[in-house]
Structure formats: structure tokens, C-alpha cells
Chains A and B, each alone.
Chain A
Amino acid sequence: MDSQGKAVFDERLAAFEKIVSEYEAPLLRYATRIIRQYDTAQVVVQDTFIRLFKAWKDEFVPSPQLSSWLYCVAHNCAVDLLRREARRHQTHLRHAEEQDDMVEPDRGAGFEISEEAAEAAEALTTLSLREQQLVILKVYENKTYAEIAQITGLTSGNVGYILHHAMKKLAVAMSQNKGRATS
């Protein structure tokens, strides 16, 4: 690389590092909520930033488009990881059945929470990944339907429709849990 090329690269890298500092916290929160494991969330976010540097052709300036792109890539990385994990877990379960030994999957440390909150978090995992993604983006990240539509590629109307049904499912699951607890 000649000196001019190096200067351009250094400038791009400095802007990229600013983007990393700006978006690492929200992306780590998002990936952790999807994966429910801190260490794996770190890997997802690392991978997302590496893809950003390699794929992003425009300037590294914070913008709604860049934010949506990052959430979208982080989500895809997280889903890929979850699918791989699920396949590994299936293999593990088959193996455990053969040995008549069931082992709880390790979700990582730090997820000890109060009972009501734990019920809600547990109910969330019963939803499809798409539903979980929308609930997380709306309830935790406070994104608008338009922003969620941009991240997911759905229409705003579809976002509202899926969210509505997901929230109703969660409400039913939680009231059933409460009913069981009081009976």
C-alpha cells in the first residue's frame, strides 16, 4: 500500500472505530437478547463489525440506514449461530437419550432473575425467532414500526400484525402461568 492509500485506509479505519464505539452497546444488548448468552453475543457483534468494514461502501457515518444494516446483519449472524447450536443440541440430546442422561443446555451465567420476569423471558423463548426479533426490537430497543420494517424487510403493516399476535400469545402464556401458580 502506498502512502496515499495508507492515509485513506487510516482515515476509514478511524471512522470505523468510531462506529464500533457508537453501536457496540446496542448491538451487544440486541444479540444477547436473541441468543441469551453473553460470550456468544460478543462473537456475533465482532462478526457484524467485520462484515461492516468489508461490505459497507459508503462513508462510516452514523445513520438510520447504517443502524438498520447493523441490526439486520447482527440478527442474521445470531440466527445462524442459534441454528448451529440447535443442530449440536439435537445431536447432544440423541446422545443423552442413548445414555439415559438429560443435561440442561448451558445458557451462560447471569440470567438469574425474579420469578415474574423469568416467566416473561421464558414465554418469549416459546415464540418463533421472527416474533422474538420483533418483540425485542419494539419492546427493548424502542424501534418504530418503520425502523423495524427497514431492519427486517417486512412491511410496517406486517410488523404490527406479527407483534400484535406475539403479544397476545405472551399475555396468554403469562396468565396461564399465573393461574397455575395460584391454583
Chain B
Amino acid sequence: MRTPFRIMTRFGGKWACRDVDERLFDFLAGELPAAGISRVRAHLRTCRTCRKTLAGMRAVVRALRKADAESRGPETLSATGRQQILAAVGRGPKRKVRCP
């Protein structure tokens, strides 16, 4: 488990590499509170390793979004699918039962 954010920011001051590393995706995802953003930015200015880790995560997000955009499927249910939903909830054509 990682250190809770409120404890990390309790005493002020800079964050070490380990602190920044475990918050890098939060930073990238826009989920880091303002107090954390300024600390991460200050650290990134001087730490090449963390900059590299962040660049790696950015590349992953870009590639995943590209993969997704290139393989989009249908965004509506098929007509049969809709009919099956309506039939299951009690409306729509019931399957015909053929008498022998």
C-alpha cells in the first residue's frame, strides 16, 4: 500500500523520488490535489528518472488510445439484440411455438 496523501503532505517540504514515483499516474490522470501537483512538478524539474517514468506512462496512454481508436466496433445494439431485450422484459415478439 502507498502512503496516504494527507500524511505525505503533512510536514510540507519536498518529496523524495519514491514519494513522487508512487503518485506519477495520479499526476498524469489529473487526480492529484494541488499540494501534490506543485511538489511533483518541482521534483520533475530535477529528476531525470521520474521524468523518464512519466514519459513511459504518457506513451502507454497514447498508444492505448490509438489502439482503441483504430479498432472501434459498432456503438449501437443490433436490431435482433434490441428485440431480444424487449422480448425478455415482456414486450416484443415472442418466439412462435409450432404445434405438431
Contacts and interface: CB of A to CB of B under 8 A. Distances in A.
Contact of A28 (B67, B68, B73, B85): B73
Given A33-B68, A50-B85, A117-B63, A168 B78 contact: no
Contact of B71 (A53, A111, A163): A111
A130 interface: no
A170 interface: yes
User: Interface majority SS on A: helix, strand, loop or mixed?
Assistant: helix
Contact of B60 (A13, A25, A50, A174): A174
Contact of B77 (A13, A28, A161): A28
- Give the interface size class of chain B: 35 or more
Interface footprint category on A: 35 or more
Contacts of B65: 139-140
Interface stretch (A39-47, A65-73, A79-87, A89-97): A39-47
Interface of A: 9, 13, 16, 20, 24-25, 28-29, 32-33, 38, 41-43, 45-46, 49-50, 53-54, 110-114, 116-121, 123-124, 135, 138-140, 144-145, 157, 160-161, 163-164, 167-168, 170-172, 174-175
A135 B65 CA distance: 11
Interface stretch (B9-17, B38-46, B51-59): B51-59
A42 B78 CA distance: 8
Contacts of B85: 20, 46, 49-50, 53
B1 A46 contact: no
Contacts of A144: 31
**3 cross-chain pairs, A with B, having the tightest CB-CB distances, nearest first:** A171-B56, A120-B63, A117-B67
Nearest to A119: B63
Contacts of A113: 66-67, 70-71
